[in-house]
Chain A
Amino acid sequence: MAESAKPAIELDRVTKRFVSPTGKSFTALHDLDLTVAAGEFVAVVGPTGCGKSTTLALISGLEAPSSGAVRVFGEPVTAVGRSVGYVFQRDAVFPWKSVIDNVAMGPRFRGIDTEKANTEAHEWIARVGLDGFERYYPHQLSGGMRKRVALAQTLINHPRILLMDEPFSALDVQTRALMENELLDLWASTGASVVFVTHDLEEAIGMADRVVVITAGPGTVKGSYRVDLPRPRNIAEIRFQPRFVELYEEIWNDLRDEVLVSYERSKHSVAS
Protein backbone atom coordinates (compact mmCIF):
# COMPACT_ATOMS: atom_id res chain seq x y z
CA MET A 1 0.00 0.00 0.00
CA ALA A 2 2.81 2.33 0.91
CA GLU A 3 4.29 1.55 -2.50
CA SER A 4 1.24 2.71 -4.44
CA ALA A 5 0.57 5.90 -2.41
CA LYS A 6 2.37 9.03 -3.51
CA PRO A 7 5.36 9.86 -1.30
CA ALA A 8 4.89 12.89 0.92
CA ILE A 9 8.19 14.45 -0.07
CA GLU A 10 10.40 13.83 -3.07
CA LEU A 11 13.71 15.53 -3.73
CA ASP A 12 14.90 14.47 -7.18
CA ARG A 13 18.58 15.18 -8.03
CA VAL A 14 18.36 18.52 -6.28
CA THR A 15 21.26 20.95 -6.45
CA LYS A 16 21.30 24.26 -4.62
CA ARG A 17 23.86 26.98 -5.19
CA PHE A 18 24.12 30.22 -3.29
CA VAL A 19 25.97 33.34 -4.30
CA SER A 20 27.94 34.81 -1.46
CA PRO A 21 28.02 38.59 -0.92
CA THR A 22 31.50 38.63 -2.47
CA GLY A 23 30.05 37.16 -5.68
CA LYS A 24 31.50 33.67 -5.33
CA SER A 25 29.08 30.82 -5.80
CA PHE A 26 28.84 28.06 -3.26
CA THR A 27 27.18 24.67 -3.71
CA ALA A 28 25.22 23.64 -0.64
CA LEU A 29 23.56 20.54 -2.07
CA HIS A 30 24.62 18.40 -5.00
CA ASP A 31 22.32 15.86 -6.70
CA LEU A 32 20.49 15.06 -3.51
CA ASP A 33 17.80 12.37 -3.69
CA LEU A 34 15.45 11.94 -0.78
CA THR A 35 12.00 10.41 -0.53
CA VAL A 36 9.83 10.54 2.56
CA ALA A 37 6.68 8.40 2.74
CA ALA A 38 3.42 9.71 4.16
CA GLY A 39 3.53 9.48 7.95
CA GLU A 40 7.23 8.60 8.03
CA PHE A 41 9.63 10.14 10.55
CA VAL A 42 12.99 10.72 8.87
CA ALA A 43 16.00 12.09 10.71
CA VAL A 44 18.70 13.78 8.64
CA VAL A 45 22.19 13.79 10.17
CA GLY A 46 25.41 15.19 8.82
CA PRO A 47 28.37 17.32 9.73
CA THR A 48 28.10 21.07 10.24
CA GLY A 49 27.51 22.97 7.01
CA CYS A 50 26.41 20.00 4.90
CA GLY A 51 23.21 21.66 3.73
CA LYS A 52 20.75 20.07 6.16
CA SER A 53 18.94 23.34 6.76
CA THR A 54 18.96 24.09 3.04
CA THR A 55 17.16 20.81 2.44
CA LEU A 56 14.36 21.92 4.75
CA ALA A 57 14.19 25.36 3.14
CA LEU A 58 13.73 23.67 -0.25
CA ILE A 59 10.95 21.38 0.96
CA SER A 60 9.14 24.27 2.65
CA GLY A 61 9.31 26.44 -0.47
CA LEU A 62 11.26 29.21 1.29
CA GLU A 63 14.05 28.54 -1.24
CA ALA A 64 13.89 27.23 -4.81
CA PRO A 65 16.37 24.59 -6.07
CA SER A 66 19.02 25.60 -8.63
CA SER A 67 18.32 22.37 -10.49
CA GLY A 68 16.34 19.20 -9.88
CA ALA A 69 12.78 18.86 -8.66
CA VAL A 70 11.12 19.18 -5.25
CA ARG A 71 7.67 17.63 -4.95
CA VAL A 72 5.28 17.52 -2.01
CA PHE A 73 2.46 15.00 -2.36
CA GLY A 74 3.32 14.77 -6.05
CA GLU A 75 2.99 18.51 -6.69
CA PRO A 76 6.08 20.58 -7.56
CA VAL A 77 6.88 23.12 -4.81
CA THR A 78 6.62 26.65 -6.21
CA ALA A 79 5.77 28.71 -3.13
CA VAL A 80 5.54 28.29 0.63
CA GLY A 81 3.20 25.33 1.03
CA ARG A 82 0.15 25.45 3.24
CA SER A 83 0.56 21.85 4.38
CA VAL A 84 4.02 22.49 5.80
CA GLY A 85 5.03 23.23 9.38
CA TYR A 86 8.55 24.37 10.27
CA VAL A 87 10.17 24.47 13.70
CA PHE A 88 13.33 26.54 13.62
CA GLN A 89 16.59 25.98 15.43
CA ARG A 90 16.61 29.41 17.03
CA ASP A 91 13.63 30.87 18.82
CA ALA A 92 11.30 32.02 16.11
CA VAL A 93 8.36 32.93 18.32
CA PHE A 94 7.33 36.55 18.05
CA PRO A 95 8.64 38.39 21.12
CA TRP A 96 6.01 41.14 20.90
CA LYS A 97 3.11 38.70 21.06
CA SER A 98 1.85 36.87 24.12
CA VAL A 99 1.80 33.06 24.11
CA ILE A 100 -1.83 32.89 23.01
CA ASP A 101 -1.32 35.42 20.21
CA ASN A 102 1.78 33.57 19.07
CA VAL A 103 -0.04 30.26 18.86
CA ALA A 104 -3.15 31.78 17.26
CA MET A 105 -1.11 33.43 14.49
CA GLY A 106 -1.28 30.56 12.02
CA PRO A 107 -5.09 30.24 11.99
CA ARG A 108 -5.48 34.02 11.92
CA PHE A 109 -3.10 34.33 8.97
CA ARG A 110 -5.20 31.68 7.26
CA GLY A 111 -8.37 33.71 7.66
CA ILE A 112 -9.99 32.07 10.70
CA ASP A 113 -11.74 34.61 12.93
CA THR A 114 -10.02 35.68 16.14
CA GLU A 115 -12.40 33.98 18.55
CA LYS A 116 -12.18 30.58 16.90
CA ALA A 117 -8.42 30.91 16.50
CA ASN A 118 -8.08 31.70 20.21
CA THR A 119 -10.20 28.70 21.20
CA GLU A 120 -8.00 26.44 19.10
CA ALA A 121 -4.87 28.10 20.46
CA HIS A 122 -6.06 27.43 24.04
CA GLU A 123 -6.39 23.73 23.21
CA TRP A 124 -2.89 23.56 21.75
CA ILE A 125 -1.36 25.50 24.61
CA ALA A 126 -2.89 22.97 27.00
CA ARG A 127 -1.67 20.11 24.83
CA VAL A 128 1.96 21.26 25.01
CA GLY A 129 1.61 21.74 28.78
CA LEU A 130 1.56 25.53 28.99
CA ASP A 131 -1.90 25.91 30.54
CA GLY A 132 -2.07 29.19 32.43
CA PHE A 133 0.77 30.87 30.51
CA GLU A 134 -1.47 32.34 27.78
CA ARG A 135 -0.82 35.97 28.70
CA TYR A 136 2.95 35.64 29.18
CA TYR A 137 5.44 37.15 26.76
CA PRO A 138 8.24 34.93 25.39
CA HIS A 139 10.97 36.71 27.38
CA GLN A 140 9.18 35.62 30.57
CA LEU A 141 9.45 31.93 29.62
CA SER A 142 12.33 29.46 29.77
CA GLY A 143 13.96 28.11 26.60
CA GLY A 144 12.03 24.84 26.89
CA MET A 145 8.73 26.66 27.29
CA ARG A 146 9.45 28.84 24.28
CA LYS A 147 10.09 25.66 22.28
CA ARG A 148 6.68 24.38 23.40
CA VAL A 149 5.12 27.61 22.16
CA ALA A 150 6.90 27.09 18.83
CA LEU A 151 5.58 23.51 18.65
CA ALA A 152 1.99 24.60 19.39
CA GLN A 153 2.33 27.45 16.90
CA THR A 154 3.37 25.00 14.20
CA LEU A 155 1.06 22.09 15.00
CA ILE A 156 -2.10 24.23 15.24
CA ASN A 157 -1.99 24.50 11.44
CA HIS A 158 -2.27 20.69 11.18
CA PRO A 159 0.76 20.35 8.93
CA ARG A 160 0.92 17.15 6.90
CA ILE A 161 4.64 17.74 6.62
CA LEU A 162 6.61 18.77 9.67
CA LEU A 163 10.12 20.12 9.16
CA MET A 164 12.32 20.47 12.22
CA ASP A 165 15.73 22.11 12.15
CA GLU A 166 17.66 21.01 15.25
CA PRO A 167 14.70 22.16 17.29
CA PHE A 168 16.01 21.04 20.66
CA SER A 169 19.73 21.73 20.27
CA ALA A 170 19.62 24.79 22.52
CA LEU A 171 17.95 22.96 25.43
CA ASP A 172 19.61 21.32 28.40
CA VAL A 173 19.82 17.53 28.34
CA GLN A 174 16.90 16.77 30.69
CA THR A 175 14.50 19.25 29.09
CA ARG A 176 15.56 17.91 25.75
CA ALA A 177 14.64 14.29 26.54
CA LEU A 178 11.26 15.46 27.85
CA MET A 179 10.58 17.50 24.73
CA GLU A 180 11.63 14.61 22.47
CA ASN A 181 9.15 12.28 24.13
CA GLU A 182 6.42 14.88 23.92
CA LEU A 183 7.12 15.48 20.27
CA LEU A 184 6.81 11.75 19.58
CA ASP A 185 3.44 11.66 21.40
CA LEU A 186 2.16 14.68 19.51
CA TRP A 187 3.43 13.30 16.23
CA ALA A 188 1.76 9.92 16.82
CA SER A 189 -1.62 11.66 17.01
CA THR A 190 -1.10 13.73 13.84
CA GLY A 191 0.28 11.20 11.36
CA ALA A 192 2.38 13.90 9.71
CA SER A 193 5.54 13.15 7.76
CA VAL A 194 8.55 14.50 9.62
CA VAL A 195 11.98 15.56 8.43
CA PHE A 196 14.03 16.11 11.55
CA VAL A 197 17.46 17.65 11.07
CA THR A 198 19.97 17.09 13.85
CA HIS A 199 23.69 16.70 14.39
CA ASP A 200 23.01 14.35 17.30
CA LEU A 201 22.98 10.73 16.18
CA GLU A 202 21.41 9.46 19.42
CA GLU A 203 18.50 11.83 19.00
CA ALA A 204 18.15 10.80 15.36
CA ILE A 205 18.00 7.04 16.05
CA GLY A 206 15.82 7.49 19.12
CA MET A 207 13.15 9.46 17.30
CA ALA A 208 13.12 8.37 13.67
CA ASP A 209 11.85 5.54 11.47
CA ARG A 210 14.78 6.16 9.17
CA VAL A 211 18.10 7.95 9.49
CA VAL A 212 19.63 9.59 6.42
CA VAL A 213 23.33 10.52 6.47
CA ILE A 214 24.34 13.53 4.39
CA THR A 215 27.94 13.99 3.20
CA ALA A 216 30.13 16.94 4.11
CA GLY A 217 29.15 19.81 1.78
CA PRO A 218 28.14 19.91 -0.97
CA GLY A 219 25.58 17.66 0.63
CA THR A 220 24.33 14.49 -0.96
CA VAL A 221 22.88 11.33 0.54
CA LYS A 222 25.55 8.93 1.78
CA GLY A 223 23.38 6.30 3.37
CA SER A 224 19.90 5.56 4.63
CA TYR A 225 19.21 3.31 7.64
CA ARG A 226 15.87 1.92 8.74
CA VAL A 227 15.43 2.10 12.52
CA ASP A 228 13.46 -0.99 13.45
CA LEU A 229 12.98 -0.16 17.11
CA PRO A 230 9.42 -0.63 18.36
CA ARG A 231 7.12 2.30 19.16
CA PRO A 232 6.04 3.87 21.45
CA ARG A 233 9.59 4.70 22.52
CA ASN A 234 11.01 6.32 25.58
CA ILE A 235 13.91 8.47 24.47
CA ALA A 236 15.57 8.49 27.88
CA GLU A 237 15.78 4.69 27.96
CA ILE A 238 15.91 3.57 24.36
CA ARG A 239 19.66 4.10 24.13
CA PHE A 240 20.26 1.12 26.44
CA GLN A 241 18.71 -1.36 24.00
CA PRO A 242 21.26 -3.59 22.19
CA ARG A 243 19.64 -2.90 18.82
CA PHE A 244 20.05 0.84 19.40
CA VAL A 245 23.76 0.38 20.06
CA GLU A 246 24.14 -1.75 16.93
CA LEU A 247 22.42 0.88 14.79
CA TYR A 248 24.49 3.60 16.38
CA GLU A 249 27.76 1.86 15.52
CA GLU A 250 26.64 1.12 11.99
CA ILE A 251 25.55 4.69 11.23
CA TRP A 252 28.45 6.27 13.08
CA ASN A 253 30.90 4.41 10.82
CA ASP A 254 29.32 6.24 7.91
CA LEU A 255 29.00 9.58 9.63
CA ARG A 256 32.47 9.67 11.16
CA ASP A 257 34.28 10.05 7.83
CA GLU A 258 32.08 12.97 6.87
CA VAL A 259 32.55 14.67 10.20
CA LEU A 260 36.33 14.27 9.80
CA VAL A 261 36.25 15.72 6.29
CA SER A 262 34.23 18.66 7.53
CA TYR A 263 36.54 19.16 10.50
CA GLU A 264 39.70 19.10 8.34
CA ARG A 265 38.15 21.66 6.02
CA SER A 266 37.19 24.02 8.80
CA LYS A 267 40.75 23.76 10.17
CA HIS A 268 42.17 24.70 6.77
CA SER A 269 39.75 27.56 6.26
CA VAL A 270 40.74 28.94 9.65
CA ALA A 271 44.43 28.48 8.84
CA SER A 272 44.24 30.14 5.43
Chain B
Amino acid sequence: MSAQSTASRRSPAVATDAAAEDFDAARARARARRQLLVLALRVALAIVILGSWELTTRLGCHGPDSGTCAVDPFFFGQPSGIWSQLVTWVEKGTAQGSLWEQIAVTLEETVLGFAIGVILGIIFGVALGRNRLLSDVLGPYIKAMNAMPRVVLGSIFTIALGLEIPSKVALAVVLVFFVVFFNAFQGVREVDRDLLANARILGASQGQLSRHVILPSALSWILASLHTSFGFALVGAIVGEYLGARKGIGLMIATAQGTFNANGVFAAMFILAIVAIIAEWLVTRLENFLIKWRPNAITEVTI
Protein backbone atom coordinates (compact mmCIF):
# COMPACT_ATOMS: atom_id res chain seq x y z
CA MET B 1 0.00 0.00 0.00
CA SER B 2 2.60 2.53 1.09
CA ALA B 3 4.98 1.14 -1.47
CA GLN B 4 2.38 1.78 -4.16
CA SER B 5 1.81 5.38 -3.16
CA THR B 6 5.47 6.30 -3.00
CA ALA B 7 6.03 4.66 -6.39
CA SER B 8 3.10 6.46 -8.05
CA ARG B 9 4.47 9.82 -7.00
CA ARG B 10 7.66 9.18 -8.90
CA SER B 11 6.46 8.11 -12.36
CA PRO B 12 3.32 7.75 -14.57
CA ALA B 13 0.55 5.38 -13.56
CA VAL B 14 0.83 2.37 -15.90
CA ALA B 15 4.47 1.63 -15.30
CA THR B 16 4.18 2.05 -11.52
CA ASP B 17 1.30 -0.42 -11.24
CA ALA B 18 3.45 -3.13 -12.73
CA ALA B 19 6.41 -2.11 -10.58
CA ALA B 20 4.28 -2.15 -7.46
CA GLU B 21 2.93 -5.60 -8.32
CA ASP B 22 6.46 -6.90 -8.86
CA PHE B 23 7.49 -5.41 -5.55
CA ASP B 24 4.53 -6.98 -3.70
CA ALA B 25 5.11 -10.37 -5.31
CA ALA B 26 8.81 -10.28 -4.43
CA ARG B 27 7.97 -9.43 -0.85
CA ALA B 28 5.41 -12.23 -0.64
CA ARG B 29 8.00 -14.71 -1.94
CA ALA B 30 10.59 -13.48 0.56
CA ARG B 31 8.10 -13.84 3.40
CA ALA B 32 7.17 -17.39 2.35
CA ARG B 33 10.86 -18.35 2.11
CA ARG B 34 11.51 -17.04 5.59
CA GLN B 35 8.53 -18.85 7.07
CA LEU B 36 9.78 -22.09 5.53
CA LEU B 37 13.25 -21.52 6.93
CA VAL B 38 11.90 -20.88 10.45
CA LEU B 39 9.76 -24.01 10.28
CA ALA B 40 12.67 -26.14 9.03
CA LEU B 41 14.94 -24.86 11.81
CA ARG B 42 12.28 -25.60 14.42
CA VAL B 43 11.89 -29.18 13.23
CA ALA B 44 15.66 -29.58 13.06
CA LEU B 45 16.01 -28.35 16.65
CA ALA B 46 13.42 -30.87 17.87
CA ILE B 47 15.18 -33.68 15.98
CA VAL B 48 18.57 -32.72 17.45
CA ILE B 49 17.29 -32.59 21.05
CA LEU B 50 15.09 -35.70 20.92
CA GLY B 51 17.63 -37.57 18.78
CA SER B 52 20.54 -36.94 21.14
CA TRP B 53 18.33 -37.86 24.09
CA GLU B 54 17.36 -41.13 22.42
CA LEU B 55 20.91 -41.78 21.30
CA THR B 56 22.58 -41.21 24.67
CA THR B 57 20.08 -43.48 26.40
CA ARG B 58 20.92 -46.27 23.94
CA LEU B 59 24.68 -45.70 23.65
CA GLY B 60 27.01 -48.12 25.41
CA CYS B 61 24.20 -50.29 26.76
CA HIS B 62 25.12 -53.93 27.23
CA GLY B 63 23.19 -56.61 28.97
CA PRO B 64 19.88 -56.17 30.77
CA ASP B 65 21.25 -53.51 33.15
CA SER B 66 20.24 -50.05 31.89
CA GLY B 67 22.78 -48.49 34.26
CA THR B 68 25.53 -49.27 31.76
CA CYS B 69 24.10 -46.83 29.20
CA ALA B 70 25.66 -43.35 28.76
CA VAL B 71 22.43 -41.86 30.21
CA ASP B 72 20.31 -44.26 32.21
CA PRO B 73 16.83 -44.47 30.61
CA PHE B 74 15.47 -45.93 33.85
CA PHE B 75 15.91 -42.56 35.56
CA PHE B 76 15.74 -40.16 32.64
CA GLY B 77 13.34 -41.90 30.26
CA GLN B 78 13.76 -41.94 26.54
CA PRO B 79 11.67 -40.49 23.68
CA SER B 80 10.74 -43.86 22.22
CA GLY B 81 9.66 -45.05 25.66
CA ILE B 82 7.60 -41.89 26.20
CA TRP B 83 5.95 -42.41 22.85
CA SER B 84 5.05 -46.02 23.56
CA GLN B 85 3.72 -44.95 26.97
CA LEU B 86 1.46 -42.40 25.20
CA VAL B 87 0.31 -45.08 22.75
CA THR B 88 -0.46 -47.45 25.62
CA TRP B 89 -2.48 -44.76 27.40
CA VAL B 90 -4.44 -43.92 24.29
CA GLU B 91 -5.09 -47.55 23.33
CA LYS B 92 -5.46 -49.29 26.67
CA GLY B 93 -6.19 -46.46 29.08
CA THR B 94 -4.37 -45.60 32.31
CA ALA B 95 -4.34 -47.33 35.67
CA GLN B 96 -7.32 -45.22 36.80
CA GLY B 97 -9.45 -45.29 33.64
CA SER B 98 -9.30 -43.94 30.11
CA LEU B 99 -6.78 -41.20 29.25
CA TRP B 100 -9.49 -38.86 27.99
CA GLU B 101 -11.29 -39.06 31.28
CA GLN B 102 -8.12 -38.03 33.13
CA ILE B 103 -7.62 -35.09 30.80
CA ALA B 104 -11.28 -34.09 31.13
CA VAL B 105 -11.13 -34.16 34.94
CA THR B 106 -7.96 -32.04 35.06
CA LEU B 107 -9.38 -29.60 32.51
CA GLU B 108 -12.63 -29.31 34.45
CA GLU B 109 -10.73 -28.47 37.64
CA THR B 110 -8.47 -26.02 35.83
CA VAL B 111 -11.24 -24.19 34.00
CA LEU B 112 -13.50 -24.00 37.07
CA GLY B 113 -10.63 -22.78 39.24
CA PHE B 114 -9.57 -20.30 36.57
CA ALA B 115 -13.09 -18.90 36.07
CA ILE B 116 -13.88 -18.56 39.78
CA GLY B 117 -10.44 -17.11 40.53
CA VAL B 118 -10.68 -14.58 37.73
CA ILE B 119 -14.18 -13.45 38.71
CA LEU B 120 -13.27 -13.11 42.40
CA GLY B 121 -10.01 -11.39 41.49
CA ILE B 122 -11.79 -8.81 39.33
CA ILE B 123 -14.53 -8.17 41.90
CA PHE B 124 -12.07 -7.68 44.77
CA GLY B 125 -9.58 -5.79 42.60
CA VAL B 126 -12.19 -3.30 41.41
CA ALA B 127 -13.79 -2.97 44.85
CA LEU B 128 -10.48 -2.29 46.60
CA GLY B 129 -9.22 -0.15 43.75
CA ARG B 130 -12.26 2.09 44.04
CA ASN B 131 -12.52 2.16 47.83
CA ARG B 132 -9.53 3.69 49.58
CA LEU B 133 -10.71 2.74 53.10
CA LEU B 134 -11.28 -0.89 52.13
CA SER B 135 -7.86 -1.16 50.51
CA ASP B 136 -6.16 0.50 53.49
CA VAL B 137 -7.83 -1.95 55.89
CA LEU B 138 -7.40 -5.13 53.85
CA GLY B 139 -4.07 -4.28 52.18
CA PRO B 140 -1.67 -5.82 54.72
CA TYR B 141 -3.71 -9.03 54.98
CA ILE B 142 -3.77 -9.50 51.24
CA LYS B 143 -0.02 -8.86 51.04
CA ALA B 144 0.58 -11.40 53.80
CA MET B 145 -1.57 -14.02 52.08
CA ASN B 146 0.16 -13.37 48.80
CA ALA B 147 3.60 -13.73 50.37
CA MET B 148 2.67 -17.16 51.71
CA PRO B 149 3.54 -20.13 49.47
CA ARG B 150 -0.07 -20.98 48.79
CA VAL B 151 0.59 -24.44 47.39
CA VAL B 152 0.75 -25.71 50.98
CA LEU B 153 -2.93 -24.85 51.27
CA GLY B 154 -3.45 -27.83 48.98
CA SER B 155 -2.94 -30.13 51.95
CA ILE B 156 -5.64 -28.30 53.92
CA PHE B 157 -8.02 -28.43 50.97
CA THR B 158 -7.42 -32.15 50.47
CA ILE B 159 -8.19 -32.80 54.15
CA ALA B 160 -11.21 -30.49 54.24
CA LEU B 161 -12.73 -30.98 50.80
CA GLY B 162 -11.79 -34.58 50.04
CA LEU B 163 -10.27 -36.35 47.06
CA GLU B 164 -12.79 -35.20 44.47
CA ILE B 165 -12.83 -32.10 42.26
CA PRO B 166 -13.59 -29.34 44.86
CA SER B 167 -10.23 -29.51 46.65
CA LYS B 168 -8.35 -29.02 43.33
CA VAL B 169 -10.64 -26.20 42.24
CA ALA B 170 -10.06 -24.48 45.58
CA LEU B 171 -6.29 -24.64 45.16
CA ALA B 172 -6.50 -23.35 41.59
CA VAL B 173 -8.76 -20.48 42.73
CA VAL B 174 -6.32 -19.46 45.45
CA LEU B 175 -3.44 -19.41 42.97
CA VAL B 176 -5.34 -17.54 40.24
CA PHE B 177 -7.05 -15.03 42.49
CA PHE B 178 -3.99 -13.06 43.54
CA VAL B 179 -2.56 -12.69 40.05
CA VAL B 180 -5.83 -11.30 38.70
CA PHE B 181 -6.56 -9.32 41.84
CA PHE B 182 -3.31 -7.33 41.76
CA ASN B 183 -3.67 -6.58 38.06
CA ALA B 184 -7.30 -5.50 38.39
CA PHE B 185 -6.42 -3.35 41.41
CA GLN B 186 -3.57 -1.66 39.56
CA GLY B 187 -5.72 -1.27 36.45
CA VAL B 188 -8.40 0.56 38.43
CA ARG B 189 -5.83 2.82 40.06
CA GLU B 190 -4.39 3.74 36.67
CA VAL B 191 -7.67 4.91 35.13
CA ASP B 192 -7.23 8.24 33.39
CA ARG B 193 -8.53 11.01 35.67
CA ASP B 194 -9.77 13.07 32.71
CA LEU B 195 -11.84 10.14 31.47
CA LEU B 196 -13.40 9.77 34.92
CA ALA B 197 -14.11 13.49 35.11
CA ASN B 198 -15.57 13.46 31.60
CA ALA B 199 -17.90 10.57 32.41
CA ARG B 200 -19.04 12.29 35.59
CA ILE B 201 -19.79 15.50 33.68
CA LEU B 202 -21.69 13.50 31.06
CA GLY B 203 -23.91 12.26 33.89
CA ALA B 204 -22.55 8.84 34.85
CA SER B 205 -23.66 7.32 38.16
CA GLN B 206 -21.14 5.37 40.27
CA GLY B 207 -22.30 2.09 38.72
CA GLN B 208 -22.04 3.51 35.21
CA LEU B 209 -18.55 4.81 35.98
CA SER B 210 -17.51 1.27 36.91
CA ARG B 211 -19.12 -0.32 33.88
CA HIS B 212 -18.26 2.16 31.15
CA VAL B 213 -14.95 3.63 32.29
CA ILE B 214 -13.18 1.74 35.05
CA LEU B 215 -13.73 -1.85 33.89
CA PRO B 216 -12.86 -1.29 30.22
CA SER B 217 -9.82 0.70 31.23
CA ALA B 218 -8.65 -1.97 33.67
CA LEU B 219 -9.43 -4.69 31.16
CA SER B 220 -6.07 -4.54 29.41
CA TRP B 221 -4.35 -5.05 32.76
CA ILE B 222 -6.71 -7.89 33.66
CA LEU B 223 -6.30 -9.60 30.30
CA ALA B 224 -2.52 -9.43 30.59
CA SER B 225 -2.84 -11.42 33.81
CA LEU B 226 -4.97 -14.15 32.23
CA HIS B 227 -2.03 -15.71 30.39
CA THR B 228 -0.12 -16.17 33.61
CA SER B 229 -3.13 -17.12 35.67
CA PHE B 230 -4.28 -19.94 33.40
CA GLY B 231 -0.87 -21.51 33.98
CA PHE B 232 -1.40 -21.09 37.72
CA ALA B 233 -4.83 -22.75 37.49
CA LEU B 234 -3.20 -25.74 35.82
CA VAL B 235 -0.54 -25.85 38.53
CA GLY B 236 -3.29 -25.76 41.18
CA ALA B 237 -5.20 -28.63 39.59
CA ILE B 238 -2.10 -30.80 39.06
CA VAL B 239 -0.62 -30.21 42.51
CA GLY B 240 -4.04 -30.85 44.06
CA GLU B 241 -4.31 -34.15 42.22
CA TYR B 242 -0.76 -34.99 43.13
CA LEU B 243 -1.57 -34.50 46.82
CA GLY B 244 -4.54 -36.82 46.66
CA ALA B 245 -7.10 -37.67 44.00
CA ARG B 246 -8.96 -40.49 42.30
CA LYS B 247 -8.57 -39.17 38.77
CA GLY B 248 -6.57 -36.66 36.73
CA ILE B 249 -3.21 -36.08 35.06
CA GLY B 250 -1.61 -35.12 38.38
CA LEU B 251 -2.55 -38.53 39.74
CA MET B 252 -1.06 -40.16 36.63
CA ILE B 253 2.22 -38.39 37.39
CA ALA B 254 2.06 -39.46 41.03
CA THR B 255 1.35 -43.06 39.97
CA ALA B 256 4.19 -43.06 37.44
CA GLN B 257 6.55 -41.66 40.10
CA GLY B 258 5.42 -44.36 42.55
CA THR B 259 6.29 -47.10 40.06
CA PHE B 260 9.62 -45.50 39.00
CA ASN B 261 8.17 -44.95 35.53
CA ALA B 262 10.15 -41.95 34.23
CA ASN B 263 8.62 -42.29 30.78
CA GLY B 264 5.15 -42.00 32.37
CA VAL B 265 6.08 -38.70 34.06
CA PHE B 266 7.43 -37.29 30.80
CA ALA B 267 4.41 -38.51 28.83
CA ALA B 268 2.04 -36.78 31.29
CA MET B 269 4.14 -33.60 31.00
CA PHE B 270 3.81 -33.78 27.24
CA ILE B 271 0.02 -33.96 27.54
CA LEU B 272 0.03 -30.99 29.93
CA ALA B 273 2.15 -28.95 27.53
CA ILE B 274 -0.35 -29.52 24.73
CA VAL B 275 -3.27 -28.56 26.99
CA ALA B 276 -1.41 -25.38 28.06
CA ILE B 277 -0.62 -24.37 24.47
CA ILE B 278 -4.25 -24.76 23.41
CA ALA B 279 -5.38 -22.75 26.44
CA GLU B 280 -2.87 -20.00 25.67
CA TRP B 281 -4.20 -19.77 22.14
CA LEU B 282 -7.77 -19.49 23.42
CA VAL B 283 -6.85 -16.74 25.90
CA THR B 284 -5.14 -14.78 23.14
CA ARG B 285 -8.26 -15.09 20.98
CA LEU B 286 -10.41 -13.85 23.87
CA GLU B 287 -8.04 -10.96 24.44
CA ASN B 288 -8.09 -9.86 20.82
CA PHE B 289 -11.87 -10.02 20.84
CA LEU B 290 -12.23 -7.97 24.00
CA ILE B 291 -9.77 -5.21 23.16
CA LYS B 292 -10.32 -4.75 19.46
CA TRP B 293 -10.47 -1.00 20.16
CA ARG B 294 -6.73 -0.93 20.81
CA PRO B 295 -4.37 -0.20 17.93
CA ASN B 296 -1.53 -2.55 18.85
CA ALA B 297 -2.21 -4.40 22.04
CA ILE B 298 1.10 -5.17 23.69
CA THR B 299 0.18 -7.11 26.76
CA GLU B 300 3.03 -9.48 27.24
CA VAL B 301 6.34 -10.22 25.65
CA THR B 302 5.93 -13.06 23.19
CA ILE B 303 8.33 -14.86 20.89
- A-side interface residues toward B, CB under 8 Å? 57, 60, 62, 80, 82, 84-86, 88, 90, 92-98, 105-106, 109-110, 137-139, 153-154, 157
Contacts and interface: CB of A to CB of B under 8 A. Distances in A.
Cβ-closest 8 pairs across A and B: A109-B203, A92-B198, A96-B216, A106-B202, A96-B293, A86-B201, A92-B194, A139-B295
A82 B197 contact: no
B205 interface: yes
Nearest to A89: B194
26 contacts: A57-B197, A60-B201, A62-B200, A80-B200, A85-B201, A92-B194, A92-B195, A92-B198, A93-B198, A94-B195, A94-B198, A94-B212, A94-B213, A96-B294, A97-B293, A98-B293, A105-B202, A105-B212, A109-B199, A109-B204, A109-B205, A109-B212, A137-B293, A139-B295, A154-B201, A157-B203
Given A62-B200, A96-B217, A96-B219, 15 more contacts: A60-B201, A62-B201, A85-B201, A90-B194, A92-B192, A92-B194, A92-B197, A97-B293, A105-B212, A106-B202, A109-B203, A109-B205, A109-B212, A137-B293, A154-B202
Given A109-B202, A157-B203, A62 B197 contact: yes
A192 to B, nearest CB: 14
A160 to B, nearest CB: 13
Nearest to B194: A92
Contacts of B291: 96
Interface residues of B, number: 23
Nearest to A86: B201
Contact of A94 (B197, B200, B216, B219): B216
Nearest to B209: A109
B197 A86 contact: yes
A150 B200 CA distance: 14
B208 interface: yes
Residue of B195, B213, B292 contacting most chain A CB atoms (<10 Å):
B195
Contacts of A80: 200-201
Contact of A109 (B192, B194, B195, B208): B208
A86 B198 contact: yes
Contact of A84 (B199, B201, B219): B201
Nearest to B205: A109
A57 B198 CA distance: 11
A62 B208 CA distance: 17
A154 B202 CA distance: 7
The DSSP consensus for interface residues of chain A is loop
B223 to A, nearest CB: 12
Decide if the interface of chain B is mainly helix, strand, loop or mixed: helix
A137 B219 CA distance: 17
Interface string B2-45: 00000000000000000000000000000000000000000000
Contacts of B294: 95-96, 139
Interface string B277-303: 000000000000001111100000000
B232 to A, nearest CB: 27
B202 to A, nearest CB: 4
Contacts of B192: 92
Interface string B181-224: 00000000000101101111111110010001100110100000
B132 to A, nearest CB: 14
A35 B213 CA distance: 34
A106 B295 contact: no
Contacts of A94: 195, 198-199, 212-213, 216
Contacts of A93: 198
A104 B180 CA distance: 32
Contacts of B213: 94
B32 to A, nearest CB: 30
Contacts of A137: 292-293
Given A94-B213, A105-B202, A157-B203, A139 B293 contact: yes
Contacts of A110: 203
Nearest to B198: A92
Interface in B119-155: none
A85 B200 CA distance: 10
